[in-house]
Amino acid sequence: MIAVFAPGQGAQSPGMLAPWLELPGVPEQVAELSEAAGLDLLRLGTTATAEEIKDTAVTQPLIVALGVIVAERLGLESDAERVVAGHSVGELTAAAVSGALTGAEAVGLAARRGSEMAAACALTPTGMSALLGGDPDEVAAGIEAAGLVPANRNGAGQIVAAGALDKLAQLAAAPPAGARVRPLAVAGAFHTHYMAPAETALAEFAATLRIADPRPILLSNADGAAVVTGAELIARLVRQVTLPVRWDLCLRTCRDLGVGAAIELAPAGTLTGIAKRELTGVELLAIKSPDDLDRARQLIENHGQYAQGEHVPDFRIVVTPAKGVFTRADGLDEGRDVARGATLGTIATNREQHEILAPQAGVLTEWLRASGDIVPAGLPVARIHSGADL
């Protein structure tokens, strides 16, 4: 099986559209996507400066547009037998690759997402810093203890903290054991509660879209689970702007599914670099120019089909409904069968207690948190496997 990854904000570079304009049909497609975005993507992708395309309102539709263009050159929209995942705004590219949105709809949604997130960033001075190294759970706990949010858990020893600038400075002065802190040049604290105004505005815009069910296996940043319906996908895309990105769980699902090769759509490099350390033994290709298309097509031909009669396992990650203290259900050990709607545990807050329910029947394959852990809302706590082979 092959995976297709779509990069997120930060992957952009000046002139990144230029080499693709030499391919037949691309100039016309850029014009169409520019209309959908309400931006001159041709100029932004060829002659604009690095500073100009760093603007969140510009970066997001520009990255999605290039991903859509490259995916169409590979014919990805016609084949459902693959895994597709995008990092942050890359999930909109992935939605287009999956057939859930058209390319123009994905770029239009990215433009609205970028502009609303830029507006939310302007309300409060916030930022993000990458923490490299250290024990992942200890680093995440240290980030939370500092009053910040582990907004991206990318795998390969990289977690991104987000929140108020003064708290980021304090974290840099006293980082968790074994971790070094690198401030990121971003407009604000993406994937945190600071983006709530953007989520509200995006929900209104998303309600106007007609979204189809994704055809390939489309993994969600929220928990690494496969998204089955268009309704679930659009709801997740809206919530994504305030929820942490769990790219580590997307990669874990790729391992569980037996992915043998992965292609990163342009502007590529970041996700392939992470995958080199997280998906050992998997053949990887970062598409950086049209010269990489032939090799990408060969990888798709070699890895893009399921074996005859092969069952694709269905994994779901159970996440917390609120911030509080997590407690596992008594006697529920790994390997036990659970029914849909069964109580897996609870989250206790200062005022109330929330039940955590199994979203589907299956086998509890792994606990991801221990009883007594203080967890934020949206944190994965358990993994359920429900497949025809069980």
What are the residue numbers of the active site?
Answer: 88, 191
Instruction: Measure the CA–CA gap between 282 and 275, rounded to whole angstroms.
Output: 8
Q: Is 163 exposed, middle or buried (0-12, 13-18, 19+ CB in 10 A)?
A: buried
Instruction: Measure the CA–CA gap between 314 and 62, rounded to whole angstroms.
Output: 33
Strand locations in 133-260 (E): 149-155, 158-164, 180-183, 217-219, 226-227
Instruction: Measure the CA–CA gap between 302 and 193, rounded to whole angstroms.
Output: 43
Instruction: Measure the CA–CA gap between 203 and 197, rounded to whole angstroms.
Output: 10
Is residue 155 a contact partner of residue 130, using CB atoms and an 8 Å limit? Answer: no
CA-based torsion, 270, 183, 198, 351: positive or negative: positive
Cα pseudo-dihedral 157, 160, 165, 171, rounded to 10: -30
Is residue 313 a contact partner of residue 385, using CB atoms and an 8 Å limit? Answer: yes
Tokens of 40: 């001159």
Provide the angle, in degrees to the nearest 10, between the axes of the packed helices 26-37 and 56-74: 140
Of 248, 264, 87, nearest to 157 by C-alpha is: 248
Instruction: Measure the CA–CA gap between 197 and 202, rounded to whole angstroms.
Output: 9
